[in-house]
């Protein structure tokens, strides 16, 4: 008999295939997102862990002006320091074949190849070879930079090394654990064409930069159990006389920092999106089983009267639910595997590991299985309980007709003015308020998902607009090797195509407020800027006060300060002055964090003549190629960044990642809406098939009968639209803090297009589901209803 029950199970699945499919599809979506995201998360964490371990990624980093190599012996003696790697690191302008603008290259000295321990931050050679022992022109290039510029082995790159033009020959491509995410100085999004890392023999580099027997950068490994803050403090003390810019740990190491932020974001997505789907799937399992049990009351009574134990029959229905969910689980896992590989492919474009592959490990599989089966069990509880409770005799009678009594709607005379069809719709909805509420919630969640997907896209667009239209309005930014006198501006102005010039000074500082501190660059600019403006939340320019500082709101949060408070500012380069300044107001630029000061005010405080570290230029774009050619050969220039190129790069990145995200969210929203609307209409049809067929017999047309059934769904969908918009806005509001980072902050903006888009998508998906059900209405058997009662 048990096998007969199984056969019955198979037939039930077939009979209810539409709903079974909708439910399984939602489970598949939930499991798919979960395994995609969670698998991607774990793959990245694993790849990072492996790579950091095998390459001996350093724990602490420091940059300084110049110190003798002999100092490394003292650094090694600091308690908790396990290994020290001293190197020379310099940013230079590069002339790259095929690129008209100058690129910025970071030159790093290679460790002594004879070193026994192989050094820290070991490079992974992907092609070519290391530079020969005494070569001063051979260089390794990051694989990323080589790919972006289509460089081949043997290619020549021009570089200005300490004022001298040098042609470098690319002999190998490498990956470095320090540049898994390869971004240039003060950049958020990678521009791999215009920023690249190169490694050369230490001898060659130190000779070129007059750093023989000296170093200006450190990578340090700490011993197990060492206290990082203490190590950092000791290092800072040792480096202070040598222009040390304060050491920092992995948490502030740019590449690691970006990677960690991204991982955090994936983890959030891997939790709430699958939860949404599985929640709705549980609801669908519930409605599906409720329908099945009501159809099969007679059969249940029969089985009970045969002497089947109630739990045995209950288990049969639970099995039914588990079967559907298992099907969804299998499809979801398969889809997760597929999309996981695709998503890892996307991440491979930003995060460069020697080995990064999507892996769905046992933990992910077990978690997905438990969660999906849990949702199924949760959804089937009430139906199974009904089966168990049903008395055999009661079950053999047909279910009593649905009873309608004058309800709230009627006593409030809300239905009085409606035509009979609308009354019927209104009462059917009012009779099952919970079911209606759940359906509305499901559709609203779907709509909210689409809103959120769209929000991320629109918010990034808005962020770009604010930043580049309101704040950064220059065409070109030039950073010098060293601080220079403002007189340099005159020579910049004389360059071809330069229309106007605005200087800035970037001074490495440590800001202290109470026990909190933050290492960053103090930016000194003219009080009233035209090319670079400090902006408030609405994108309006803020004039710098004649004294005091302006902080990015996020920085103020980190330091726990507000306008009116005083900050202690420690200059980390030059004469290492310490001074205090009042916070005058906060700014709201969406990218990065900064402290701003009027350049004249800073010069006064430092008691120095004004100095500049770079300039922003407005240029005549027709003359740009000539300007770029000049800049490439200007010794004093360390880096050149071009606004248009940056915008293009960011747009490309957005297209690759944010559009994918928006598309995924929209697709999921569509599946959700179809699942909920189809399911709910299908149940209504099964409950009211006889009613509708009778109306057809009475001469109602197909479309009139369809309206009666789908009118109910239409009301649900229409009710869900404002609810979904509101919910979407709320979720966006909740998401904003998750995107409130030092690197960038998503503004909380709600656009009409966001809601219009989500509404259209929802209506479209609902219409599709309705069409599927309408086909069923057309197939109603008019003759059967004359004789049978359900």
How do strand 498-513 and strand 476-484 relate by DSSP bridges? Answer: unpaired
Q: Which is nearer to other proteins, 242 or 700 (CB)?
A: 700
Comparing CB distances to other proteins, the nearer of 287 and 428 is 428
The structure tokens listed for 310 are: 């109630």
CB atoms within 10 A of CB 370: 10
Q: Nearer Cβ to other proteins, position 58 or 709? A: 709
What phi-psi label fits residue 606: left (phi over 0), alpha (psi between -120 and 50 degrees) or beta?
alpha
**Residue 789 CB, nearest distance to other proteins (Å)?**
5
Q: How far apart are CA 549 and CA 502, in angstroms?
A: 19
CA dihedral 550, 554, 559, 560 (to 10 degrees): 100
Work out how close the CB of 713 gets to other proteins at its nearest, in angstroms, rounded to a whole number: 15
Nearest C-alpha neighbor of 218 from the set 106, 58, 65, 87: 87
| Calpha distance 238→316 (Å, rounded) | 74
Q: Is 132 helix (H, G, I), strand (E, B) or coil?
A: coil
User: CA neighbours within 13 Å on the CB side: how many for 150?
Assistant: 3
Nearer Cβ to other proteins (423/618): 423
Residue 380 neighbours by CB distance under 10 Å: 27
Considering the complex, state which of residue 448 and residue 785 has its C-beta at the smaller distance from other proteins. 785
Q: How far is the CB of 774 from other proteins (least distance, A)?
A: 15
Q: Do 770 and 673 contact (CB within 8 A), yes or no?
A: no
For other proteins, the closer of residues 413 and 515 by Cβ is 413
Q: Considering beta carbons, is residue 224 or 789 the nearer one to other proteins?
A: 789
Residues in the chain: 790
Nearer to other proteins, 79 or 433 (CB): 433
The Cβ-side half-sphere exposure at 530, using a 13 Å CA radius, reads: 7
> Considering the complex, what minimum distance in angstroms separates the CB of residue 783 from other proteins?
5
The distance of closest approach from Cβ of residue 768 to other proteins in the complex, given in angstroms and rounded to an integer, is: 24
Nearer residue to other proteins within complex by CB, 587 or 707: 707
**Closest approach of other proteins to the CB of residue 33, in Å:** 39
Rg of the chain, C-alpha, whole Å: 33
Q: Shortest CA distance to 90 belongs to which of 105, 102, 80?
A: 105
Tokens of 278: 């599985």
Q: Are 182 and 197 in contact (CB under 8 A)?
A: yes
3 state SS of 256? helix
Nearer Cβ to other proteins, position 429 or 444? 429
- Quote the distance between the C-alpha of residue 720 and its chain's center: 27
List residues binding other proteins (CB under 8 A): 401-406, 419-421, 423-424, 427-428, 431, 690-691, 694-702, 704, 782-783, 785-787, 789
Is the CB of residue 664 less than 8 Å from the CB of residue 274?
no
- Minimum CB separation of residue 259 from other proteins in Å reads 59
Nearest distance from residue 13's CB to other proteins, in Å?
Answer: 24
* DSSP labels, 558-573: HHT--TT-EEEEEE-S
Nearer to other proteins, 114 or 403 (CB): 403
Specify whether the CB–CB gap between 315 and 710 falls below 8 A.
no
Give the number of other CB atoms < 10 A from CB of residue 162.
15
- Rounded least distance, CB 408 to other proteins, Å: 14
Residues 306, 62: contact at Cβ < 8 Å? no
The first and second tokens of residue 685, run together, are: 């049809």
Report the nearest approach of other proteins to the CB of residue 432 (Å).
Answer: 11
Please report where in the chains the tokens 């004058």 appear, as a residue: 406
Could you count the other beta carbons within 10 Å of the beta carbon of residue 246?
21
Report the nearest approach of other proteins to the CB of residue 698 (Å): 6
Output the smallest distance, CB 294 to other proteins, in A.
15
In this complex, which beta carbon is closest to other proteins, that of residue 203 or of residue 691?
691
Cβ 258 to other proteins shortest distance, Å: 59
Going 781 to 784 to 785 to 790, the CA torsion angle's sign is: negative
Closest-CA residue to 493 (of 485, 484, 502): 502
314 vs 689 by CB, closer to other proteins: 689
Shortest distance in whole angstroms from residue 436 CB to other proteins: 14
355 versus 782: smaller Cβ distance to other proteins: 782
How many other β-carbons are positioned within 10 Å of the β-carbon of residue 622? Answer: 9
Structure-token pair, residue 206: 């130190």
């Amino acid at each position: 008999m048990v096998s007969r029950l199984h056969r019955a199970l198979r037939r039930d699945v077939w009979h209810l295939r539409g709903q079974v499919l909708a439910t399984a599809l939602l489970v598949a979506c939930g499991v798919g997102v979960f395994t995609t995201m969670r698998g991607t998360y774990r793959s990245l964490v694993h790849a990072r862990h492996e790579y950091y371990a095998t390459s001996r990624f350093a724990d602490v980093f420091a940059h300084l002006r110049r110190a003798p190599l002999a100092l490394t012996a003292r650094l090694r003696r600091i308690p908790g320091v396990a290994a020290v790697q001293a190197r020379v690191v310099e940013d230079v302008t590069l002339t790259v074949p095929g690129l008209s603008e100058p690129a910025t290259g970071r030159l790093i000295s290679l460790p002594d190849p004879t070193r026994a321990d192989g050094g820290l931050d070991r490079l992974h050679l992907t092609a070519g070879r290391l530079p020969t022992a005494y070569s001063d022109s051979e260089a390794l290039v990051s694989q990323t930079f080589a790919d972006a510029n289509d460089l081949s082995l043997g290619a020549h790159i021009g570089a200005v090394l300490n004022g001298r033009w040098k042609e470098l020959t690319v002999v190998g491509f490498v990956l470095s654990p320090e540049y898994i995410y390869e971004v240039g100085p003060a950049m958020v999004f990678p521009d791999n064409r215009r920023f690249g890392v190169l490694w050369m023999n230490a001898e060659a580099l130190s000779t070129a930069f007059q750093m023989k027997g000296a170093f200006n950068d450190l990578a340090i490994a700490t011993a197990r159990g060492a206290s990082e803050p203490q190590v950092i403090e000791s290092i800072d003390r040792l480096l202070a006389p040598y222009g040390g810019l304060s050491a920092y740990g992995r948490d502030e190491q740019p590449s690691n920092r970006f990677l960690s932020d991204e991982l955090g974001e994936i983890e959030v997505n891997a939790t709430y999106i699958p939860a949404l789907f599985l929640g709705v799937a549980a609801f669908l399992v519930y409605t599906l089983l409720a329908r099945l049990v009501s159809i099969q009351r007679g059969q249940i009574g029969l089985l009970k009267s045969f002497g089947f134990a109630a739990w045995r029959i209950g288990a049969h229905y639970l099995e039914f639910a588990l079967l559907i969910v298992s099907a969804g689980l299998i499809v979801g896992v398969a889809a997760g595997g597929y999309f996981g590989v695709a998503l890892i492919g996307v991440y491979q474009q930003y995060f460069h590991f020697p080995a990064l592959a999507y892996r769905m490990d046992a933990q992910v599989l077990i978690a997905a299985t438990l969660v999906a089966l849990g949702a199924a069990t949760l959804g089937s509880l009430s139906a199974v309980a009904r089966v168990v409770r049903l008395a055999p005799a009661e079950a053999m009678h047909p279910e009593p007709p649905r009873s309608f009594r004058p309800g709230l709607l009627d006593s409030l005379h809300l239905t009085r003015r409606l035509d009979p069809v609308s009354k019927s719709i209104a009462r059917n909805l009012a009779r099952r308020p919970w079911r209606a509420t759940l359906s509305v919630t499901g559709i609203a969640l779907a709509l909210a998902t689409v809103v959120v997907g769209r929000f991320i896209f629109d918010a990034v667009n808005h962020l770009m607009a604010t930043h580049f239209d309101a704040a950064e309005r220059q065409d070109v930014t030039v950073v010098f090797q060293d601080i220079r006198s403002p007189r340099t501006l005159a020579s910049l102005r004389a360059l071809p195509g330069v229309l106007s010039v605005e200087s800035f000074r970037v001074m490495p500082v440590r800001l202290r407020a109470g026990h909190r501190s933050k290492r960053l660059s103090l930016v000194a600019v003219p009080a009233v800027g035209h090319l670079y403006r400090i902006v408030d939340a609405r994108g309006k320019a803020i004039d710098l006060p004649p004294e005091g500082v302006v902080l990015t709101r996020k920085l103020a949060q980190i330091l726990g300060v507000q306008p009116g408070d005083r900050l202690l500012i420690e200059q980390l380069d030059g004469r290492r002055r310490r001074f205090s300044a009042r916070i005058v107001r906060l700014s709201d630029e969406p990218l990065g964090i900064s402290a701003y000061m009027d350049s004249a005010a800073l010069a006064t405080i430092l008691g120095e003549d004004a100095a500049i570290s770079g300039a922003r230029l407005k240029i005549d774009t027709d003359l740009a190629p000539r300007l770029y050619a000049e800049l490439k050969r200007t010794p004093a220039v360390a880096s050149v960044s071009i606004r248009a190129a940056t915008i293009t790069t960011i747009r490309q990145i957005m297209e690759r990642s944010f559009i994918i995200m928006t598309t995924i969210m929209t697709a999921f929203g569509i599946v959700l809406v179809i699942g909920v609307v189809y399911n709910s209409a299908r149940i209504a049809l099964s409950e009211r098939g006889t009613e509708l067929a009778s109306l057809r017999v009475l001469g109602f047309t197909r479309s009139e009968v369809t309206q009666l059934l789908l009118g109910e769904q239409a009301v649900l969908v229409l009710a869900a639209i404002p609810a979904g918009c509101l919910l979407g806005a709320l979720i966006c509001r909740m998401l904003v803090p998750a995107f409130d980072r030092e690197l960038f902050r998503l503004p909380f903006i709600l656009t009409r297009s966001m809601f219009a888009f989500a509404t259209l998508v929802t209506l479209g998906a609902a219409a599709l589901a309705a069409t599927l059900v309408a086909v069923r209405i057309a197939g109603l058997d008019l003759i059967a209803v004359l004789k049978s009662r359900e």
